[in-house]
Structure 1
């Protein structure tokens, strides 16, 4: 058995090598993402282990994938929106993911950004850069235990996020398609409109689907408190970026913490000349009340290890079971 792993970063290599040795399975490590141009690298493998923001390819890609004898796409992350599931089904390709590699890692990053924005750290740094060290009445902040945190989506990551905020004394409300009994002690279930209108911090934890694409847009920003902070640790496409920029520029909301952007595939995980960065990124990054990180909320030793091990296990177990 042989597996090809794409978009491999240095931090993952020790875990890939350890898993390969323990299971006596060859794992070919490839730094480039999976695409039509790199697919030949997987020749002779039973499947591929991938994690990337960009789409794998068009219908021809999936046909060729199957023709090469490849049977599995093991996504080593929770999100699988970059995989064409219909094309996989049509070509007999099985797709797996890692729904819970370390929910705490993402939850902690969201909390970190929210607290930094709540205490106006970026705005203070901007003032200090101009030699202003006095107490600015505009920058007085609130304490978390006095606030309402609203979660949209209450899966593994949303649940861990709820527990962290509740432990700090915040009121936590949540909108989710189903009522999950395991979180009853830390959240109050409500509807989408209530989360948008009542929350001081709004944290997004839903997958990107046609139904959720652009779910936070001009109308939602108008209904938020002007003191609200938006946190997106999920998928960039959930937020209408031009509407977000307008809301921030006009003071409709107080700040945003973003680990993901709708157009991130153009530049995240790459080294890009500063003058070639997208205009919307440059606009957001220049705002002292915005924090942007390059989709690295997951990037802890625990999460990376689990993503590699479970991603490979999913392929290995299916192939062993089949044989």
Structure 2
């Protein structure tokens, strides 16, 4: 059995080699993403895995079908860069890694929220200018006196609720699916209540037609002026222009973003700063905004689990069996 891993990071390589040895499977690696330009590399393989950051078009599935490949093992949660209908049409089963380390992403969200809550970026910006003073504009609130609102309560949302609850915050959650296991850590409510009452609003929903731009100008108008928005999920959940306006007009106090709507054009790349999108530059210049390049997942445990779970799924489907991680 031969599996080709696309978009492989250097830190994934030892785990891939070890998995291949343990399972007696040839695992080959390429740093290039799966795309129309690279799909020919899969010829002669039994299966493929990809990081799933670059959008995959219908011709890629057609080529894989021609090569006799019946699956793509995606090494992340989101499948929004896959054309699920086209994959199904060409007999390609997509699997994702729904839970590689929810704590990794939850911890990054909490880290950014706590930094913004205590105005760390504003103090650093002042100190660079020789200003080491403080005043009423940067007085903070301790986390146990804050209300945290979570929109989405899957694996990552649940882990986030547990951390904030342990820190003493009041946690509110909106999710169409009720989970009784969340009761010790949160109180379920509606989205509007979260927008109105939360000091920290953290997004943990998939990108769907129904969730795209769910945080828009109307949503920002409902938020408290001290509210902090945290997005560890998908950039397109937030209307970027509305976010910039809300920050400029002080409708909200800050934002922590591990993902942006246009990130595919420059995240994971090296390029001159002046060539990056203007909205990113505008946000990045704000001392009350933290942006990281979609690295909330990037811990040793998460990388190991993501790689191993994806390869397990690839092997399972190649063998003609069903994976519980199949998304189509």
For Structure 1 versus Structure 2, the TM-score category normalised by the shorter chain is: over 0.9
CA distance in 2, matches of 1:275, 1:255: 24
CA distance in 2, matches of 1:53, 1:198: 34
The match for 1:37 is: 37
CA distance in 1, matches of 2:59, 2:39: 12
Residues 196-215 of structure 1: pairs in structure 2 closer than 5 A: 196-215=195-214
CA drift of 1:137 comes to: 1.5
CA drift of 1:322 comes to: 4.5
Give the secondary structure class of the aligned counterpart of 1:245. helix
Residues 112-127 of structure 1: pairs in structure 2 closer than 5 A: 112-127=111-126
Residues 1-323 of structure 1: pairs in structure 2 closer than 5 A: 1-57=1-57, 59-322=58-321
Contact in 1 for aligned 2:49/2:75 (Cα 8 Å): yes
CA distance in 2, matches of 1:195, 1:74: 35
CA distance in 2, matches of 1:3, 1:99: 21
CA drift of 1:318 comes to: 2.0
Of stretches 213-222 and 37-46 in structure 1, the one that deviates more from structure 2 is: 37-46
CA drift of 1:319 comes to: 2.1
CA drift of 1:54 comes to: 1.9
Q: Which runs of 5+ in 2 are unaligned?
A: 323-328
Contact in 1 for aligned 2:113/2:256 (Cα 8 Å): yes
Contact in 1 for aligned 2:147/2:169 (Cα 8 Å): yes
CA distance in 1, matches of 2:320, 2:35: 28
CA distance in 2, matches of 1:46, 1:195: 47
CA drift of 1:46 comes to: 1.9
CA distance in 2, matches of 1:280, 1:106: 24
Give the secondary structure class of the aligned counterpart of 2:22. helix
CA distance in 2, matches of 1:15, 1:171: 39
CA distance in 1, matches of 2:223, 2:45: 50
CA drift of 1:60 comes to: 2.4
CA distance in 1, matches of 2:65, 2:263: 28
CA distance in 1, matches of 2:287, 2:133: 17
Contact in 1 for aligned 2:52/2:79 (Cα 8 Å): no
CA distance in 2, matches of 1:288, 1:23: 49
Structure-1-length-normalised TM-score: 0.98
CA drift of 1:28 comes to: 1.3
CA drift of 1:134 comes to: 1.5
Give the secondary structure class of the aligned counterpart of 1:206. coil
Query: How far does the alpha carbon of each residue in 1:5-63 deviate from its partner, in whole angstroms, 9 at most, with x for none?
Result: 01101110000100011111111101011100000111111221111322012x22221
Contact in 1 for aligned 2:42/2:64 (Cα 8 Å): no
Contact in 2 for aligned 1:257/1:290 (Cα 8 Å): yes
Contact in 2 for aligned 1:53/1:264 (Cα 8 Å): no
CA distance in 1, matches of 2:81, 2:172: 30
Q: Which runs of 5+ in 1 are unaligned?
A: none
CA drift of 1:314 comes to: 0.5
Give the secondary structure class of the aligned counterpart of 1:302. helix
Query: How far does the alpha carbon of each residue in 1:196-231 deviate from its partner, in whole angstroms, 9 at most, with x for none?
Result: 111000000000011101100000001000100000
Contact in 2 for aligned 1:172/1:187 (Cα 8 Å): yes
CA distance in 1, matches of 2:97, 2:53: 15
